[in-house]
Amino acid sequence: MSALLPGAATLGVLGGGQLGRMFVHAAQALGYRCIVLDPDAISPAGAVAETHIEADYLDPVGLAQLARDCDAITTEFENVPALALQTLAGMRVVAPAAAAVAVCQDRAVEKAHFEAAAAQSGVYPAPHAVISNAIELAAIDPALLPGILKTSRMGYDGKGQLRVSTPAELAAAWDELKREPCVLEQMLPLKAELSVLVARGADGQIVHYPAQQNLHRGGILAVTEVPAPGLPADVQQRAIAAARQVAAALAYVGVLCVEFFWLEDGRLVVNEMAPRPHNSGHWTMDGCDVSQFELQVRALAGLPLPEPRRHSASVMLNLLGDLWFTEAGGPTPPAWDRVLALPGTHLHLYGKAEARHGRKMGHLNITAETPEAAHAVALQAAAILGLPADF
């Protein structure tokens, strides 16, 4: 397609969450108008877009309006119905494509894609097995235990996942997950978790950010550090090459995040991917000359994709609604004035009306000239916020 030039086009987003909100901000900074389709009358992205279509993702009237009024359309979360993307693709440019999103929506299909891509990259997924019926459950190789049983679809932030150590625990866990199709992954001894963000255009041009080292708490990303403090250069380069191969093999268009495990024995294992900007890439908003959201806009609009340049060491702290609750009660806003008094702090709140435990309310980026300086300030900010100092 011809490039959709800034100031002369309207971009659509399926989904009204915080990722859509930050996409809209990036698009508007370039001069695009934005339309968000989301069923929630009050959504972070809908509140800042020029137009909010309040409709279900499969509502034919809403989809028709989105296609009529937009020049190109993207999604801000992976669980949008692939059928909605297929419907829109019959009328407008849609990126990423429904087929690529569908791969990311099913862990079993995703694992198969990783294995196919590994023929080029050499980076494989963890040993695993698909469980969709009682026969497959009975045939599980005991070598996969202990493991993590994950629903094939709709799992995120640690949801739809259970740890199991024995065949009896596995059977009970499958019952608890309502015998939905699942993937059992062998538990592996982790040394570190990392992710790589790539952006790919319809013309095949692909760029990437540096590897990002991540810390999760309770299955939810808590901290990202760039440069990755504990990752050898060769591990980072292997992860980058593997992520680029995964995107190319999907003929992907847009921003894609691929997550990896670095194991105690030195192996690199690919874990999962997200067909959108990712929490672990939020540091790019303040630590890079082009953010992951601007690259999402550029890829959708068919604009050139510059190779991102990191200009600052960065630490990202994820801010959950738990921070608004104290022993004295709540919800009460945290001491942002004290946090923002620290050098290099950049607060991004998502405009959500109500703080709830476990709800993503925002993130804090800390930038500095050196990784040591960024880390030191991040620890100070964590202490003010009451966050663990385990990074």
Q: Is 86 among the annotated ligand-binding positions?
A: no
Spatial neighbors of 213 by CB under 8 A, at least 6 apart, are 192, 193, 194, 224, 225, 226, 228, 229, 230, 231
> How many other β-carbons are positioned within 10 Å of the β-carbon of residue 263?
15
Q: Is 296 annotated as a binding residue?
A: no
- 344: helix, coil or strand? coil
Q: Is 187 annotated as a binding residue?
A: yes
User: Binding residue per annotation — 159?
Assistant: yes
Q: Which of 209, 204, 208, 201 is nearest to 303 (CA)?
A: 201
Tell whether 155 is in a known binding site.
Answer: yes
Residue 352 is labelled as binding a ligand: no
Measured at the CA of 311, the angle between CA 307 and CA 315, to 5 degrees, comes to 110
Which of 114, 107, 74, 109 has the alpha carbon at shortest distance from 247? Answer: 114
Question: Binding site annotation covers 276?
Answer: no
375 assigned to a ligand binding site: no
Under a CB-based contact definition with an 8 Å cutoff, are residues 63 and 88 in contact?
yes
Look-up: residue for tokens 């008094």?
341
DSSP letter assigned to residue 328 = T
Find out whether 157 is annotated in a ligand binding site: yes
DSSP string, 132-169: -SHHHHHT--GGG-SEEEEESSS--TTTTEEEE-SHHH
156 marked ligand binding residue: yes
According to the annotation, is 219 in a ligand binding site?
A: no
Question: Is 193 labelled a binding residue?
Answer: yes
158 is in an annotated binding site: yes
197 within 8 A of 282, measured Cβ to Cβ: no
28 annotated ligand-binding residue: no
| Region for 329 from its dihedrals, namely left if φ exceeds 0, alpha if ψ lies in -120 to 50, beta otherwise | left
Q: Is 350 annotated as a binding residue?
A: no
Residue among 347, 324, 349, 338 at smallest CA distance from 380: 338
- Chain position carrying tokens 């930038």: 367
Matching residue, tokens 């952006």: 199
- Answer whether the bond into residue 277 is a cis peptide, omega within 30°: no
Q: Which residues carry a binding-site annotation for ATP?
A: 107, 150, 155-161, 185-188, 193, 216, 271-272
Annotated binding-site residue numbers: 107, 150, 155-161, 185-188, 193, 216, 271-272
